[in-house]
Chains A and B, each alone.
Chain A
């Protein structure tokens, strides 16, 4: 693990940053045409190559990995952009593992900007609650996925369902009869949370063999990307607070010259860098297919998700009264940070996973 970014990786970050800076998308989720706005934004990001990340595509002379996916997630976080990115990266990972023509077809459409997100019960700590049955016309799904990030904007969702004693992944377009996507009002409209209810909806199997392994990997990836997004959230919140502290004067001096503010900011820098180190550690491990990659994803999520909320909350505090208004953008960052903290496993859960790992390894060690 050397953590040196390549020129291509630096350029990728710069292009995403530039595109988002021109659109300032964070606030659009509170406008009446928010769904169209989010879909348009994703169309532009997809054109810029975001839907091909993490895939090895020799036909397109393209190869990228968890490192690029992680770096882009941080950029999206910096802008608090409302995108289906995390669910979509999880979906393309699952589709790319399949030999089925339906999967290849859907993956091709996803690369062209079609929004497909994976409905992972792990996003809210749930278990598989959908059953698939085979009927003369094909596969039919019954059940519910409670919270699906990005489903508000999706054209297609990947559903994990039990079929004949095993787990499979199905794709269904959301305008199918028997499929209801209900956007869920939440602390963070920018997460695009929606419930997906299935009442006899017709669906196409896209992954049948060894689906468990691919779903597991998709959850790991989504968890890392949520952590990386929180790192970006924290980064921007920190710098908004620092800019404010440098210019806002009280008692005849910038408030940033007072140690009460200065030390808070320094601790926020530590939080941001801890988050970034943890995400880098996990992304490099995932890229290398390291055995302990999962451990490092737990670490990244435990550190960055908690750090993101903490930094955003402290940034709001430093803004004083203006930070409590709807007009000031800092709340957009706090909202997303809190959403990311509780999605894909909260901090105590990831800490416990680490404890199991650490204390068990230790036990073997001492014998």
Chain B
């Protein structure tokens, strides 16, 4: 997305701040104010706020102005995320659509597709999920086998998608399917939009390691969508996807840094509050240096992000910081939760339900859940290949098939 805003960051922030003052519900940010507990009520509440924000172009500010965004500069995006985080404004519904599918439709879609899909996406009325990974295509995504057969003016899709987040509550899925099985693997794919209520779609929950559910298998059995639901030319799905995914959201780091720091503060607080067999973990030299290293990590995530932006702004090209942030950040997140369990010694093993569980077992949950940090969205091993091959120009593995 190209930044077109001519507003100074100070003017931008002032306008945002004024808008929030005027439009956030009464009592927002005060002690007494709480979001609804019930998930459905909470969702409705967030959607109502989202509609209001979208009406005044405060949802996808990185989108061009003509599609409901603001063509925001990176400095404006940083200011935006910081201000929303400061005021505790929840993330909009359908952020996968807003960040991945929306920009793809804006860049590669037809006018009809933009007309049809962007507004409900902004308003949170239509939630999108992603259909990329398959049981046989994880790190080697381009090896995917879900088949899209052309019949007249329809695409008939059969196969299986997995690691799909939110398919059970989404209205739409954007997916990569193989439309030319004879072409080299990167050249036979198409980027297609599917209504989740289509006949032939079955969503089956996958139970996470911590027994929670937000990811699914999605089975596709002769699912028919019009060819007009293909984004970009037929068989150009890989290029279409790459331009979107390569357009890293450079401001994403802020949210992750804020989250990392909040968790770290909680771990530090735990280490000071707990008494493990007569000793306070925060007084143990190994715990102290481990906490210091995690404080460093939280600052490095922030500094890398700022340097990345400086590099994009001065050269027009992202520096190596993107892939570096990813591999560093995801490893650090996993280590942080490990530390959270370790500080309590054997008491750290106790899960919710046990009387002596630390913080009602939330660190056991975090430890298990964060195993996915170094796997989801590109394993650390793949990130390391990317760094070595793109930053240092190392040759590809001799046995990799293109």
Contacts and interface: CB of A to CB of B under 8 A. Distances in A.
Contacts of B388: 256, 262-263, 265-266, 269
Contacts of B295: 299, 354, 358
B155 interface: no
Interface in B86-134: none
B387 interface: yes
Contact of A359 (B268, B300, B313, B391): B268
B392 A269 contact: yes
Nearest to B385: A262
B384 A267 contact: yes
A281 to B, nearest CB: 5
A117 B64 CA distance: 56
A4 B314 contact: yes
Interface string B271-293: 11000000000100100110111
B320 interface: yes
A32 interface: no
B168 interface: no
B304 A277 contact: yes
B272 to A, nearest CB: 7
B272 A277 contact: no
B375 interface: no
Contacts of B398: 252-253, 257
A276 B383 CA distance: 20
A137 interface: no
Contact of B307 (A261, A262, A280, A362): A280
Given A4-B313, A257-B397, A359-B268, A352 B296 contact: no
B217 interface: no
Contacts of A359: 268, 271-272, 282, 288, 291
> In the complex, which range does the number of interface residues on chain B fall in?
35 or more
A111 B288 CA distance: 43
Contacts of B383: 266
A359 B282 CA distance: 8
Interface in B354-402: 381, 383-385, 387-389, 391-398
Contact of B306 (A3, A262, A267, A352): A3
A328 B303 CA distance: 35
Contacts of A258: 397
A258 B399 CA distance: 10
Interface in A277-297: 277-278, 280-281, 296
Task: Name the prevailing secondary structure of the A interface residues.
Answer: helix
A273 B396 contact: no
Interface in A292-343: 296, 299, 302-303
Contacts of A265: 387-388, 392, 394
Given A257-B397, A273-B304, A273-B321, A262 B296 contact: no
A101 interface: no
Interface in B141-156: none
A257 B328 contact: no
Contacts of B385: 259, 262-263, 266
A280 B303 CA distance: 8
B300 A278 contact: yes
Contact of B397 (A245, A259, A274): A259
B327 interface: yes
B296 A269 contact: no
B299 interface: yes
Contact of A257 (B303, B310, B320, B396): B396
Nearest to A267: B384
B248 interface: no
Contacts of B44: none
B265 interface: yes
Interface residues of A, number: 46
A355 B306 CA distance: 24
Interface string A341-367: 000000010011011001100110110
Nearest to A299: B296
Contact of B289 (A245, A352, A365): A352
A266 B303 contact: no
B310 A4 contact: yes
Given A4-B313, A256-B388, A265-B388, A355 B292 contact: yes
Contacts of B303: 1, 3, 277-278, 280-281
Contact of B292 (A261, A263, A351, A362): A351
Contacts of A24: none
B269 interface: yes
B292 A274 contact: no
A257 B324 contact: no
A263 B313 contact: no
B307 to A, nearest CB: 5
A108 interface: no
Given A253-B398, A257-B396, A263 B296 contact: no
B293 A351 contact: yes
A208 B92 CA distance: 61
A11 interface: no
Given A302-B296, A352-B292, A355-B292, A270 B395 contact: no
Contacts of A238: 392
B306 A2 contact: yes
A254 interface: yes
B269 A362 contact: yes
B381 A302 contact: no
The winner among A2, A296, A355, A366 for most chain B CB atoms within 10 A is A355
A242 interface: yes
Given A299-B296, A303-B296, A269 B306 contact: no
Given A253-B398, A362-B269, A352 B320 contact: no
A246 interface: yes
A270 B288 contact: no
Nearest to B381: A263
Contacts of B304: 273-274, 277
A273 B391 CA distance: 12
Nearest 4 interchain pairs by C-beta:
A266-B384, A355-B288, A277-B303, A354-B292
18 contacts: A1-B303, A3-B306, A3-B307, A242-B394, A256-B388, A256-B392, A259-B381, A259-B385, A262-B389, A266-B392, A270-B324, A270-B327, A277-B307, A280-B303, A281-B299, A348-B289, A351-B293, A359-B288
Given A302-B296, A348-B289, A362-B269, 16 more contacts: A3-B310, A5-B314, A262-B385, A262-B394, A263-B388, A265-B387, A265-B388, A266-B385, A266-B388, A269-B320, A269-B391, A280-B307, A296-B299, A299-B295, A299-B296, A362-B268
